[in-house]
């Protein structure tokens, strides 16, 4: 359905002339060095760092949640599915309706910081929920913060590079997030088995606490300078 909606309703952003110019340009290689360079790049680097650590914390929650629900609360697979459907519905509401209103009223920098704080607190609370009702209450701000961060971080990344770099930058961001989904299940599983069912939540909350500190220092208090405008030479 998403593919069909894009094909039929999303307007093309490139003119024929711009497409021809881009086709003639040399494409940068998609390599590990490109990722390292992007992480060290002003504006882009701090956002990719934030994406990675936020992704690690949230992927730990996602990948370990079913086992957590079984061992901590004794939920069946069916009940766990209902809980995750509840989280998904909240995320749809946030990304479909709330984010647009938030970005119209507040800066993306402030939204990223506040959402990081809310996510850290929600993950900490998740570690110690005593029953399903409390879990549903805790998951509401978590879904709000997660949906908001996912959307606003991607938006901020597109504004941190030149137009022809947007696709590659979003590809790097997706690669960074995919890496967290390789790490998180193993980390979360080891913590749950050898320390306790509360350990993945504490780990995720600590990771998000680092994100809050990093966002405050590198994005809020000491942001990188704006992207310089390019001077386009005109033929006589």
CA–CA distances in Å: residue 111 to residues 1, 21, 108, 211? 29, 36, 5, 13
Residues 6+ apart with CB under 8 A from 95: 147, 148, 150, 151
Homologous superfamily in CATH for domain 44-221: MFS general substrate transporter like domains (1.20.1250.20)
Q: Which tokens in the block code for residue 229?
A: 């405008």
Query: pLDDT 10s per residue in the chain (236 long)?
Result: 988 998 899 888 777 777 777 677 666 666 667 667 777 888 899 999 999 999 999 999 999 999 999 999 999 999 999 999 999 899 889 888 888 899 999 999 999 999 999 999 999 999 999 999 999 999 999 999 999 999 999 999 999 988 778 888 888 888 899 999 999 999 999 999 999 999 999 999 999 999 999 999 999 999 988 887 764 444 44
For the stretch 39-54, what's the b/e string if a residue is b when 16 or more beta carbons lie within 10 angstroms of its beta carbon? bebebbbbbbbbbbbb
The pTM score is 0.85
């Amino acid at each position: 359905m998403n593919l069909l909606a894009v094909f039929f309703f999303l307007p093309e952003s490139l003119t024929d002339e711009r497409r021809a110019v881009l086709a003639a340009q040399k494409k940068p290689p998609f390599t590990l060095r490109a990722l390292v360079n992007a992480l060290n790049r002003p504006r882009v680097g701090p956002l990719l760092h934030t994406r990675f650590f936020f992704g690690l914390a949230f992927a730990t929650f996602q990948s370990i949640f079913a086992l957590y629900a079984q061992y901590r609360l004794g939920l069946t697979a069916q009940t766990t599915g209902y809980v995750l459907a509840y989280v998904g519905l909240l995320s749809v509401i946030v990304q479909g309706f709330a984010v647009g209103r938030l970005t119209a009223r507040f800066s993306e920098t402030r939204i990223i910081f506040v959402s990081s704080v809310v996510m850290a607190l929600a993950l900490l609370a998740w570690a110690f929920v005593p029953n399903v009702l409390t879990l549903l209450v805790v998951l509401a701000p978590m879904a709000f913060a997660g949906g908001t961060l996912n959307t606003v971080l991607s938006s901020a990344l597109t504004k941190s590079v030149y137009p022809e770099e947007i696709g590659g930058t979003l590809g790097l961001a997706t690669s960074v997030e995919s890496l967290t989904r390789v790490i998180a299940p193993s980390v979360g599983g080891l913590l749950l088995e050898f320390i306790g069912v509360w350990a993945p939540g504490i780990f995720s909350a600590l990771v998000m606490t680092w994100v809050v500190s990093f966002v405050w220092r590198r994005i809020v208090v000491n942001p990188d300078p704006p992207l310089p405008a390019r001077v386009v030479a005109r033929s006589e």
